[in-house]
Structure 1
């Protein structure tokens, strides 16, 4: 819109598949940089928030925008209707399931005392959704944009490597992953290289063992 601002309905944003949930990639769509902001949509019985902990140190605040959800936080469950806020500290397990059709939960995340650094997992989710739909060029354009925005952050090159691995573009995948390895602190990236199933198509290639060192 003119004037440098944007008005956007969550219902207008194209969803992406991520770990069994329907992601509404708000941060990517708006180009929002100060914090991690996204939303999740599901019908009754569907998974809203993928089961996870935030090992990175991110605190997350979830807001039920529409519908009703059941949250599991740690070992406890709680029902949350529209207007409910659920705050979850880092390293605490969390997930949520929709109790009504069309339920939407908005999420905001960040780490205390640190500037937000977008690794682009949400952009990758959208790019990979395009890849699975045969829209390779659109997906690859998203990954190029992500690297252009954060050329010196290891996670952007890593996510581009994952995209090309799944797309079968092996040489490009290794090019991105080598760059990620150069930029990444070993302790921060090593687990991803060892365990990420997105890299499984590369593991029998001798170049992959070279990456692991």
Structure 2
């Protein structure tokens, strides 16, 4: 239900986008609301053992709070491992290793985060996630809209065109993929070569002479 000035919605009103081979689901809350004070997204592990929160550290200084909304999540936080049932809140300070898998079907976590003392700016990673999820869901055009948003957000970062190259390679558009890969190499040849060496998303391009030329 929506009215001017506010919006009320259920978790189930959010899009359901597969992100990693269909095992982890992104329900993009921040984008749905146009919400900008801090990052806020909902993640779902469909089956026990599926990732809900992928293993990572927030080395950039971002602090995160995880709220288990449904099911039970098995968290690894620093050196500790514990189960967090629905209603549990888990705080992860910056640079602390964190990971969560589903202990029950449809385990659902709300993740919110920001850097202390800094105005929040949506990151391009969110656009990348949405782009790949749309592609896996069968809507490449919607994925391209999200990918273009990432390119526009950080036009001088090599990661944008590199991810766009991976996206187009997976979408079966080698010419577009190679054009993006060339742009990534122009922005940072060393990092582009390093990541292109073993990124399986680019496997469809490896027999093309232009691929070897770009990453040489």
TM range (shorter): 0.7 to 0.9
1:156 aligns with 2:156: no
Distance, in Å, in 1 between the alignment partners of 2:161 and 2:54 is 24
Q: Which residue of 1 aligns with 2:101?
A: 97
User: Taking structure 1 as reference, are residues 118 and 181 closer, same or farther at Cα in structure 2, changes over 3 Å only?
Assistant: farther
Match of 1:23 among 21, 26, 33: 26
With normalisation by structure 2, the TM-score equals: 0.76
Structure 2 gaps, min length 5: none
1:125 aligns with 2:129: yes
Distance, in Å, in 2 between the alignment partners of 1:39 and 1:62 is 9
Q: Which residue of 2 aligns with 1:204?
A: 207
Q: Which moved more, 1:15-24 or 1:137-146?
A: 137-146
State how many pairs are aligned.
212
Structure 1 gaps, min length 5: none
1:129-175 CA distance string (max 9 Å, x none): 33234322222233234434444444333322221111121121122
1:15-94 map, 5 Å: 15-19=16-20, 20-43=23-46, 45-47=48-50, 48-54=52-58, 56-94=60-98
Distance, in Å, in 1 between the alignment partners of 2:215 and 2:42 is 34
Contact persistence 2:73–2:101 (CA under 8 A): yes
With normalisation by structure 1, the TM-score equals: 0.77
CA RMSD in angstroms, aligned pairs only: 3.2
